[in-house]
Structure 1
Amino acid sequence: MTWDPSVQAFRRTTSPARAPGSALESSRRAVEDQLKICGHKRDADVFELFLSQKELTDVIDLSRFKNLKYLWLHHNKLHGITFLTRNYCLTELYLNNNAIIEIEGLHCLPSLHTLQLQHNELTNMDATVKELTGMLHLKTLSLYQNPFCQYNLYRLYIIHHLPGIELLDRKQVTEKERRSMITIFNPKKAHIVQSIAFGRKVDASWDPQSFQQNPAQRVPSDFAFEDNVDKTVFDDPEDAVFVRSMKRSLMAFTFLSWDTVPKREEKYLGEKGTDPAQMLTVTLR
């Protein structure tokens, strides 16, 4: 048998073109098999699809399943998500253990409540967060074992940009993490939060810089201030206590002075005048 270079060239040029079609055909067969197993005859009756461990590299458009709520696609070989465009009812999506490098298209899923994306190839944390920002109902999110998870403050960064998340990487989001997130990524808001108590804001007209104090000492570079916002150092501890106390909020309690309210007998005998009852206000810092 003689070697024909034109035949070899034809095979090399046509084999890549068949690859996308074969991938879509494989996913089509997987979808049809699931429909047969579940006995669905109408697309409107499909609420869940189990397509995991099918060696899928691409998936056909699933927009025909308008009522789809649960979709399992984990343990495949997916690289992107472009097949979920009109599945507005989808609430749970499992995409873990794939080879996904970007999640463009997920913003079209406003009802998504649970998203599993662990064990993928996501490297752009900003693009990932931007795609998930508009999901107001997203409560459970898993992103661990992705390349960008190695960054410092990764967890607090996700909590900061997605404040609605309650369970991140199988761990409950705590109030301490939310406070730390505000302190790191929004120090101005942290200062305002610390100056508020009992619904009363501290008097902003008082300027701490106008307080007479001794020259500040030099502080070592590795000195830890912890959660303190004001890092001014005082020679006299009493001065620091005074400045701190003046930043506290004011609490005001208003109540009726019952001494000014005449009793029944006093009303009858007319021993007290008809002046209106007085209100007393006590202010504490």
Structure 2
Amino acid sequence: MADICDWSRICEKAIKQQKKSRGIKRDHDVTEICLHERKLEGVCDLKNYLNLQFLWLSNNRLRRIQCLTHNYRVTELHLQYNLLKDISGSLSHLTQLRVLMLQGNQLADLEKVIKEFRKMQSLEILNMFDNPLAQETDYRHYTIFCLPSVTILDRKEVQSKEREMARKGYDQRNEMVRETIAFLRRSQGPPDLYYKQNPQMRLTTPIALREHYSMCRPSTAELDEAFENRVKTKAMWTYNYFNWQKIPSPHERRTNRNVTIEPEILSAGFK
């Protein structure tokens, strides 16, 4: 088995040949590197190619990616059909990445992989099929929710219905608020057109201070009668709220399809 130095020499030789065929003399002018199907188990450090944008490392035997530490301008990266098991800390700095191919590897932890993509706000095309993580329950909806910039996932265009289902599954609180806020809907006229007001009903009735004092003061010396009279002059308020402790978390929903999603409504009365 060749050591790391051997793999580095093989990569450097291939890059020199590509530079010569394209008439490139300086490393800063290199924007594309193709190391496809070379049975590589390692790749040389590409820190000299700071303007690198397109990189092909597909169909090799790579188990880790440690060659892109200084390449912040990569926009298209092909890592499909390797032996990758963990990419933590390898790709998170590639914030300009638009196309990422990871299909045909051995990635198993979906949440760990998605965490690596959090800063990639420009990522549009992502392939992760033929990995163990693609067999997880609700894999597609979870990926769509965590990576809203992705428009094509596993060679299939992301539909608006899929985004809506992803929000309802993993953003339950905000989704409930969206469904209950009325002013987000387009108004077709003034409120009086739909809600007829009764002129005889008023929220408050102006009264004199003397009348207010006599109304609040008990009219009888008996404690029970005074209490009943006092209750009649006060309003009753009922406050309804959800019991969020019984709402399953997004992780529980994704791992267990049988959990209940109906929130329990609690009521509290005030006088």
Match of 2:163 in 1: 178
Report the identity percentage. 34
Give the C-alpha shift of residue 188 in structure 1: 1.3
Counterpart Cα distance in 2 of 1:19 and 1:63: 20
SS in 2 for 1:107: coil
Give the C-alpha shift of residue 199 in structure 1: 2.3
Counterpart Cα distance in 1 of 2:141 and 2:53: 29
SS in 1 for 2:92: helix
Match of 1:195 in 2: 180
Q: Supply the AA of the counterpart residue of 2:126.
A: L
Give the C-alpha shift of residue 197 in structure 1: 4.4
Contact residue 191 and residue 229 of structure 1 kept, 8 A: no
Match of 1:41 in 2: 25
Map residues 1-285 of structure 1 onto 2, 5 A cutoff: 19-104=3-88, 105-199=90-184, 207=239
SS in 2 for 1:59: coil
Counterpart Cα distance in 1 of 2:238 and 2:167: 24
SS in 2 for 1:61: coil
Counterpart Cα distance in 2 of 1:44 and 1:134: 25
Off by >4 Å, runs of 4+ in structure 1: 205-209, 228-232
Q: Which runs of 5+ in 1 are unaligned?
A: 1-15, 210-227, 233-285
Counterpart Cα distance in 2 of 1:67 and 1:118: 26
Give the C-alpha shift of residue 180 in structure 1: 0.9
Quick one: structure 1 residues 69 and 197, their matched pair in 2 at CA, closer, same or farther if it must change by over 3 Å? Answer: farther
Give the C-alpha shift of residue 200 in structure 1: 6.1
Q: Supply the AA of the counterpart residue of 2:174.
A: K
Contact residue 30 and residue 54 of structure 1 kept, 8 A: no
TM-score, normalisation: structure 1: 0.63
Counterpart Cα distance in 2 of 1:50 and 1:171: 26
How many residues are aligned here? 195
Give the C-alpha shift of residue 53 in structure 1: 0.9
SS in 2 for 1:178: helix
Q: Which runs of 5+ in 2 are unaligned?
A: 187-236, 242-260, 266-271
Contact residue 93 and residue 119 of structure 2 kept, 8 A: no
Counterpart Cα distance in 2 of 1:111 and 1:179: 26
Counterpart Cα distance in 2 of 1:167 and 1:197: 33
TM-score, normalisation: structure 2: 0.66
SS in 2 for 1:119: coil
Counterpart Cα distance in 2 of 1:197 and 1:117: 43
Counterpart Cα distance in 1 of 2:64 and 2:239: 54
SS in 2 for 1:188: helix
SS in 2 for 1:106: coil
